[in-house]
Amino acid sequence: MSSVSTLLTVRSYTVNLRGRIKSLDQSVTSIGRSLAAQKRELLQAKRTAANLDDAIDTLQGCLRILDLVKRVRDIIKEGRYWSALRVWFNSILSPVCKLNILLSRLKK
C-alpha cells in the first residue's frame, strides 16, 4: 500500500512539475518574442538614424554648393567674370585636381 501511495505522490508531483515547466516555457517564449520585437525595432531605429545622417550630410553638401553658386552669381553680377571663374575653380575644381595629383603620386 505504501508503494502505491508513493507512486501517487510522485505522479502528482510529476503532473505539478509538468504544469510549472509548461508555464515557464510559455513565459520564456513570450519574453523571447518581446525581445525579438524590441531588437527589430532597435535595428529599424538604427537604420533610420543612419538614413537621417546621410540625408543631413547630403543637404549640407547641397547648401555648400548653393552658397558657392550664389557667391559666383553675385560676382558675375558685378561684372568680375575672372574672379567668378577663380572662385568656382578654387572651390570645385581645385580640390578635385589636388586629389588627382595626390593619387598620381601615391601610384608612383
Mean pLDDT value across residues 92-101: 67
At residue 108, the pLDDT reads 60
φ/ψ of 80, rounded to 5, equals: -95, 75
Is the confidence at residue 86, as pLDDT, over 80? yes
Instruction: Look at the pTM and tell me if it is higher than 0.75.
Output: no
At residue 46, the pLDDT reads 96
Domain boundaries, given as residue ranges, for the chain: 2-107
At residue 9, the pLDDT reads 85
Question: How many of the other CB atoms lie within 10 Å of CB of 71?
Answer: 15
* 25-84 confidence digits (pLDDT tens): 999 999 999 999 999 999 999 999 999 999 999 999 889 889 988 999 999 999 999 998
At residue 96, the pLDDT reads 63
